[in-house]
Chain A
């Protein structure tokens, strides 16, 4: 995996991600068009503007990400209005770069896909409006993709051999879900968070111990220097739903500890707090995921979402999966962040099922995962 980075004048980081297979894929693009489905995918649900070209759901021909993270750091989190404004500025550049790196024009594309939820509504609307305009102007089919189904589908890019059914643990800034992927595009949620998402807890704790935003990577790094057994923070169990998560209690307990230490003038060891907190989160996530595989009888476990790039979580799951004879699948970190390649992967399987969206597609900020109402799937045929 090779990442070309370029910091632009406004602080936005423009990235082109290439893996070793990509050059080969692009080379074969023109000759190999019989029956292939090539999708232009767009993603703008939070603070990353992204575009990618993906063939047959698994081959990434280009993957462009324009990351605004530096602009939001000073505000301690993503400011929706600033994110939305930047999306408008960056969108065309990302799409153009994605097409040119794939060696294609819009005429070579079979469909346009876009994230239509969940996410920040103002941010989503930029991608949705752009995708609709392009699909209309070029008379191409339009496919709306669920952001988290995109994250899950990043595994299809990373592991070409992975096929449903499998269990997927989805953990990100906005989501903590345990999902059974029954078939391509068919999801059953068996567990989810009752309060904060795992990534949200990471952000808040990082803020409180002075590590700053974004919390996930910063805690991950600090935890490597700390003692995970320095403190015991509670791991909430939800009585009536064994696969559900709760991170709010854990977060409060860490914040209380910090406040008390402050009041008593104690020196706070950031790294120990980070390591102990991370251990508590990661253990709950892993134990639920392994239990789900065993009880539902699946021998494949995948992870997805921003928190899936957390080192401790990966290590623990790898160990536990080995012990329980479960095959473990994980996207490389760059595919765990928000990107459009994963949206192109998810869109391919929707495309194959005949899903087509109408031009009245809207952004749906709280779009549910899986078995959602299909009213947005106005079939053109």
Chain B
């Protein structure tokens, strides 16, 4: 069986051709050039060097994910285009399984870790189990046993799992150098790190594992194949979080611990407290209960509250107007100012806003409101203009602030 294999899931861009018992060719590059520029020329070059007639390929194997979203798509779109043109099936190889397959025959626990940012890794736990032959032969073959199939895990989770297995582990993948200090501090079992020639994605491993998968009938058509990202897009994730009220409910311990300020999405149950806070701070200009409820339930807004000892002490909100985030409200209870409530709250608002597709933020503030102006400037906002006499009671100018990216 002839398999053309592609892996562009991480920093390594790699292609290989497996032809029955041998790897006919494999090219691999880990350099700063983009997969988009390198992948096809590399494939072209490889095929020329072995005088490959593309029509003799039986299937196209590709690392299906997880990995860099863009990298996965370059690999997937390329594999699908090739499979369409050559009328061949695709063998989708789980990326982490492919990396583990670098260490074929190793009976230790194998834990690949791909850096997924924010203290997360794409990982899994594997080991190889020898199959005893019948008769007297000394030859052994191995089955890859999946202890925990590939998943997106927090560093704490995977370290906990490794420790609970209580066995020596081999680590590999681009997440290992990134989180080495944390691993060193928290792993309670002997660990080693795979040598550089086995440590990263390998198209040859993808091809070898794909050959095995093909034997088990794990082939899909070119049209139906799509990468397995293991993560929703940020926008989908936040849309889901926004609607899941229960998930955001505070834990009991947090309610009881005084002094801790917790920022979370506003829910319908907060509306009365939030409206009261608005009224207290802004008087006539305050938003009504209904206005807040309307604004909060729109799909182009984010509303957050700050909670301290079970009490709503702050609220803020932003509306996305085609990429410009208009910060409509920022309010902090009088007795909780100078505690960083505003900073914590607005900072989170800006971060969450990116998920809504907001690139630039704008707001208006009373010219006389020095503490608020200090807060916005600390958060990177810059004054871009004034609307003279915009506010009433007392009369004041509105200063227009922008934070542009």
List of B residues within 8 angstroms of A208 by Cβ: 321
- Give the residues in chain B near A65, CB-CB below 8 Å: none
Q: How far is the CB of B3 from chain A (nearest CB, A)?
A: 15
| Distance of A361 from chain B, by nearest CB (Å) | 8
Known A92-B223, A200-B322; judge A136-B40 contact (CB<8 A): yes
Question: A residues within 8 Å of B by Cβ?
Answer: 74-79, 81-82, 84-85, 87-89, 91-93, 95-96, 106, 121-122, 125-134, 136-138, 200, 203-204, 207-208, 213, 215, 255-256, 358-360, 362-363
Instruction: Verify if B324 is at the interface (C-beta below 8 Å from A).
Output: yes
| Smallest CB gap from A256: residue in B | B387
From A378, which residue of chain B is reached at the shortest CB distance?
B41
The distance from the CB of A89 to the nearest CB of chain B, in whole angstroms, is 5
Complex-state Cα separation, A25 to B34, whole angstroms:
41
Task: Give the chain B neighbours of A363 by CB distance below 8 A.
Answer: 36
Mostly, the B contact residues are helix
Residues 20 to 64 of chain B near chain A (Cβ within 8 Å) = 34, 36-41, 43-44, 54
CA A2 to CA B82, docked complex, whole Å: 32
Query: Which of B37, B77, B235, B321 makes the CB contact (< 8 A) with A204?
Result: B321
* 16 residue pairs bridging A and B, Cβ less than 8 Å apart: A74-B299, A75-B235, A75-B356, A78-B357, A85-B73, A96-B223, A126-B73, A128-B36, A133-B77, A133-B78, A134-B82, A136-B44, A204-B321, A213-B322, A359-B41, A359-B44
- How far in angstroms is the closest Cβ of chain B from A35? 25
A77 to chain B, nearest CB (A): 5
* Smallest beta-carbon distance A370→chain B, Å: 24
> What's the minimum C-beta distance from B227 to chain A, rounded to whole angstroms?
7
The answer to whether A88 and B236 touch (CB under 8 A), given A77-B322, A106-B85, A207-B300, is no
Contact A88 B223 (CB under 8 A): no
A258 to B: closest C-beta gap in Å: 10
Roughly how many angstroms separate A75 CA and B237 CA in the complex, as a whole number?
A: 12
Q: Are A131 and B356 in contact (CB under 8 A)?
A: no
For residue B257, which residues in chain A have a CB less than 8 angstroms away from its CB?
none
Interface size on B, residues (CB 8 A): 44
Is residue B320 within 8 Å, beta carbon to beta carbon, of the partner chain? yes
Residues of A with C-beta under 8 A to B70: 84, 121-122, 125
- Pick the contact of B43: A87, A122, A136, A207 (CB < 8 A): A136
Cβ–Cβ < 8 Å partners of A138 in chain B: 85
Give the contacting residue for B78; candidates A78, A106, A130; CB below 8 A: A130
Excluding A76-B322, A84-B69, A204-B322, 4 further A-B contacts by CB distance (< 8 Å) are A76-B356, A77-B320, A122-B69, A132-B81
Please tell me if the beta carbons of A137 and B54 are within 8 angstroms of each other in the complex: yes
Q: Mark B78-90, 1 if CB is under 8 A from A, else 0.
A: 1111101110000
Q: Which residues of A contact B38 (CB under 8 A)?
A: 360
* B73 x A88 contact (CB < 8 A): yes
10 tightest CB-CB pairs across the interface, nearest first?
A133-B81, A137-B85, A129-B77, A81-B233, A359-B40, A130-B81, A76-B300, A79-B235, A92-B223, A204-B322
For A91, the chain B residues whose CB sits under 8 A away are: 77, 80-81
Chain A proximity of B304: nearest CB distance (Å) = 18
Residues of B within 8 A of A132 (CB): 40, 78, 81
Q: A341 CA to B322 CA in the complex, in Å?
A: 29
- Quick one: closest B residue to A42, CB to CB? B81
Please determine whether B74 and A75 come into contact, CB atoms closer than 8 angstroms.
no
Among B237-252, those with CB < 8 Å from A are 239
Q: Which residues of chain B are near A358, meaning CB under 8 Å?
A: 41
Docked pose: A136 CA to B34 CA in angstroms: 19
> Looking across the interface, which residue of chain B has its beta carbon closest to that of A173?
B322
